[in-house]
Amino acid sequence: MDTNFSDDFLVKGKFSIKKASTEYKGKLTKEEGGQLLIEEKEKLRELQEKLYADGSKSLLVILQAMDAAGKDSLIEHVFGGVNPQGCNVTSFKTPSSKEYSHDFLWRHYLALPQKGMIGIFNRSHYESVLVCKVHPEYNLSEKTWSSVKDFDNKFWENRYESIRNFEHHLSQNGTTVVKIFLNVSKDEQKKRLLDRINEQEKNWKFSAADLPERALFPQYMEAYETAINETSKDHAPWYVLPADNKWFARVAAIQIIIDTLEKMDLKYPQLGDKEKAGLEEAKKTLESE
């Protein structure tokens, strides 16, 4: 049985969202997937410790998805076993007035992981070519443009170029970028939204604002397809994961992250002769107590 899915969902060449599965789960059962996730979490914990010890590189994981696709629970289940000192999660909401007073990438620079760290963006700079593409009037809050008519093809080409340059700059300066889109179907999203209404303990998750956005599902899919095609590069690849089965999306995501960390050629620091001699002296001192 093939239990490694890390390369199966890498975007290669022209991406079509209509051809991307939302239901695929390989030949795994949910129980097998749960056990595999436990095993992979131990690998991730060890690699995260090595990244922290190495201290020369960082990993940025970008998660994008429609409402109710499972971003929050994926973060909880995939990264729940790593040392919290070496991992930061940033959830990007609607920009504040201060953030709108800067360029659209500014607040994302502030949240980047430092060397030795894993940074997770729950939503990201891609919102500027997703929700802001579906609702172009939102861009007016940046106060740089005077009319929705300003948001023509050239405007969006510039946005994609800015994102590509941003991610290329990160990759050249020690940050590896991995981008994951959780591809949930409209039917599954409906089921999960209804669960939030019907199950009292999930009521807090439901927002009436989700429904108008759901009505724009086709427009969002078009925006995602374009953004992925415009920005999937070898140094900042996109992975499109089937997300109708949350447990499978978690397994695929953790394998992608593990494979990425393994390719980063991380090393534990090597002690010099002076440091090794110091260890021997410390050992003798402790053993003589």
Q: Which of 252, 129, 285 is nearest to 183 (CA)?
A: 252
Encoded tokens for 123: 């939503």
List of long-range contacts for 190-199, beta carbons under 8 Å, 24+ apart: 190/214, 192/68, 193/67, 193/68, 196/68
Q: What is the mean pLDDT of residues 151-168?
A: 98
pLDDT above 80: residue 2: no
Of 121, 130, 54, 67, the C-alpha closest to 89 is: 121
pLDDT, tens digit, 9 for 90 and up, residues 189-231: 999 999 999 999 899 988 888 899 999 999 999 999 999 999 9
Strand partners, 238: 179
Phi, psi angle pair for 224, to nearest 5°: -65, -45
**pLDDT tens-digit profile of 106-126?**
999 999 999 999 999 999 999
Contact 76, 289 (CB under 8 A): no
Q: How far is CA 101 from the centre of its chain?
A: 26
**pTM of this prediction?**
0.94
Question: Is residue 133 a contact partner of residue 158, using CB atoms and an 8 Å limit?
Answer: no
pLDDT score recorded for residue 159: 98
